[in-house]
Structure 1
């Protein structure tokens, strides 16, 4: 039976926990990362008030007219601000064309760590660390609500990385120098729009099939259907968060670091439609990506005789290539192995559907 495990990570939150308690959680994380690539975490310590602040900020911004939201679109070459519907195609981040190119039906607002987030670091490239575009003049409560959630998600990501490090049997501080100026990004995704704001051409795509780019993703989402992950048999499986849980999945950087011992799982969002109307779904995806100059190469203990190792690549090179795919339709040149995984899985999914 397909299962996304629920894992209590409180042993990595509570400073009074024992080594044995942490080891038990690390084993559970390792098993989930090896078999599913997704997990639900509880005991993460994020207060309910932070969720309330996030959703209030979220609702206030997305209630604005489309023209106002578009005034906060990213500056050229920067991954910050508002992205309207049909401006992205997630499957092209791996160079796999969607039949409905650039028809991913969601709008998003992106914030992240800018150069000012790491004042002790000199000469960080603006392309990887742009400053945020805040709609302070129209939604004053947006920034504080989003920044509070961002801080909690960042804290949870570091605690999870400790658990992952233990699960891989690495020294506790192994990743410290690889994430001390991490490219942390938060996408606020909205899957419902007022009627008439946009015309759909072809089959509806909420968010196309893709893998995430970085180390791990922490997702808060409404308990509304939509998120689907592709299981090893090529079948799309629905995933909804349990009460109080955050959904976590691994990204391509961690899959490359572990030489696919751990799985960066293909997933998509298939928006729920009732009586021809989309049921609104909100999600906040925090991407913990690592330092721009960190080199992704096979970790100790992850070399395999049955699988070639990935070519070394920096975190920034990996992200920039995939952003060019999803935003501009330019296929990345160093994602052939990941693209093959996606096309093979999608082929299996189509075959399974046709057989039924």
Structure 2
């Protein structure tokens, strides 16, 4: 997995420096669909306060955390262990047997962040802030704003890499449906069975445009290559993991990859090693229509046009509502083909 320094775009580098970054991003997007990003300029203090806030929430008693659950269609609040199945977002029926034991807490942009627009309250829901932790919201929002900046820097690079007009993606993301999901894989003893089927997070592709992931330097994340082999991935010092989502694969007619990945919890001496991660999902405007870029159509598009709303809601109905997604035929075929090669 390539490590790419994006300083040239963060610090206003020269045209040649930017061109080299865009070239490397394009190569990673076409061959892996994942990359490690350094030079993102998120201050260390922001990350430290953010991870401390995550720790404080996940350390709360389960009864307190479950007070912040929301209905499946509302992508906010707390998700307890074994309440989701990420593989069902691909429409894979056998995924109901998966043991997705992670717990998570979601926040995101709300309708109030885009005054003057009449946005669906279900999609742009208000956040739930734990009353037990008065400093939590500040630390989380400080990191969220930094991750949002990085995501938008990346779409600027994407436009250059794909030889699109400058600012091409802005029209699709000026009221983007963005969510920050904080994950915890360290559970109290006795809450899970340490058997061969244990899965922290089932195989899936991400739903939107691009994902910016902070993660502990601990094993667990695995990425599937083109030959059907799973590879362990751990972030380099100071790096963020970045991967493309389904909408970018649709835009580029799969010239850029939305790569299958999963989390297998590391079991050491009969216990699960602690692992935390936080994924910032940059998903685009709810009313944006995603269709194959003219330069990527080739012999024909693999996908019909779809709105971000249609795509994301079907995905969430699978992962959070445990309803098999019937609108992901190509994605389902990919995961089933990969399953044959485990």
Structure 1 length-normalised TM? 0.93
Q: Which residue of 1 aligns with 2:46?
A: 50
Q: Which residue of 2 aligns with 1:34?
A: 30
The count of residues paired between Structure 1 and Structure 2 equals 342
Which of 11, 14, 31 matches 2:11?
A: 14
Quote the Cα distance in structure 1 between the aligned partners of 2:41 and 2:21: 15
Quote the Cα distance in structure 1 between the aligned partners of 2:236 and 2:188: 28
Q: Where do 1:167-246 residues align within 5 Å?
A: 167-197=161-191, 203-246=197-240
State the shift of 1:173 in Å.
Answer: 1.9
The answer on 1:318 being equivalent to 2:311 is yes
Aligned 8 A contact 1:66 1:197 in 2: no
The answer on 1:88 being equivalent to 2:84 is yes
State the shift of 1:102 in Å.
Answer: 5.7
User: What root-mean-square deviation, in Å, do the aligned CA atoms of Structure 1 and Structure 2 show?
Assistant: 1.4
The answer on 1:333 being equivalent to 2:326 is yes
Which of 245, 253, 262 matches 1:251?
A: 245
Any stretches of 5+ residues in structure 1 without a counterpart?
Answer: 350-356
Secondary structure (helix, strand or coil) at the match of 2:93 reads coil
Secondary structure (helix, strand or coil) at the match of 2:198 reads coil
Query: CA 1:100 to 1:178, structure 2 compared with 1: closer, same or farther past 3 Å?
Result: closer
Q: Which residue of 1 aligns with 2:271?
A: 277
Quote the Cα distance in structure 1 between the aligned partners of 2:172 and 2:150: 17
Q: Which residue of 2 aligns with 1:77?
A: 73
Which of 55, 60, 63 matches 2:56?
A: 60
Quote the Cα distance in structure 2 between the aligned partners of 1:36 and 1:289: 20
The answer on 1:134 being equivalent to 2:133 is no
Q: Where do 1:159-174 residues align within 5 Å?
A: 159-174=153-168
Any stretches of 5+ residues in structure 2 without a counterpart?
Answer: none
Quote the Cα distance in structure 1 between the aligned partners of 2:68 and 2:193: 21
Query: CA 1:225 to 1:199, structure 2 compared with 1: closer, same or farther past 3 Å?
Result: closer
Secondary structure (helix, strand or coil) at the match of 2:101 reads coil
Secondary structure (helix, strand or coil) at the match of 1:165 reads helix
Aligned 8 A contact 2:33 2:258 in 1: yes
Structure 2 length-normalised TM? 0.97
| Cα displacement string for residues 67-118 of structure 1 (whole angstroms, at most 9, x for unaligned residues) | 1100011146311000000000000001113455362010000000010111
Q: Which residue of 2 aligns with 1:354?
A: none
State the shift of 1:331 in Å.
Answer: 1.8
Query: CA 1:100 to 1:280, structure 2 compared with 1: closer, same or farther past 3 Å?
Result: farther
| Cα displacement string for residues 230-255 of structure 1 (whole angstroms, at most 9, x for unaligned residues) | 01111110000000000000000000
State the shift of 1:200 in Å.
Answer: 7.1
Quote the Cα distance in structure 1 between the aligned partners of 2:312 and 2:95: 23
